[in-house]
């Protein structure tokens, strides 16, 4: 007889139920925290193309740079001359 993985864990007794409960509770904590961090504090983005050369992506072509965008400073108007500003939808 075929059982789905969660059914097998539920039949194992206490360990399976504890595992599922820990996974679900961790998931429901991790998702809102991650969304809040990405929305309010920082965002990871990839810079491609020649528009930001030579500061970012100096080789051009097929390479790209990964950057961490600081959303906190923008929300509190601490952007200064010379800072790189990105628009993220």
State residue 7's pLDDT score.
58
Q: How far apart are CA 64 and CA 44, in angstroms?
A: 13
Q: Is 74 helix (H, G, I), strand (E, B) or coil?
A: helix
Q: Read off the pLDDT of each residue in 25-45 and give the average, rounded to a whole number.
A: 85
CA distance linking residue 21 with residue 87, whole number of Å: 39
Q: Has this prediction a pTM greater than 0.75?
A: no
Mean pLDDT of 7-27: 72
Please check the confidence at residue 54 and state whether its pLDDT lies above 80. no
Res. 17: pLDDT tops 60: yes
DSSP calls for 9-64 = HHHT-HHHHHHHHHHHHHHHHHHHHHHHIIIIIEEEEEE-SSTTTTTS-TT-TT--
């Amino acid at each position: 007889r075929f059982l789905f993985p969660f059914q097998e864990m539920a039949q194992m007794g206490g360990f399976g139920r504890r595992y599922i409960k820990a996974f679900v509770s961790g998931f429901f904590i991790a998702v809102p925290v991650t969304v809040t961090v990405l929305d309010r504090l920082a965002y990871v983005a990839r810079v491609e193309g020649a528009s930001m050369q030579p500061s970012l992506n100096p080789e051009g072509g097929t390479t790209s740079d990964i950057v961490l965008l600081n959303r906190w400073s923008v929300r509190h108007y601490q952007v200064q001359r010379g800072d790189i500003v990105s628009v993220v939808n």
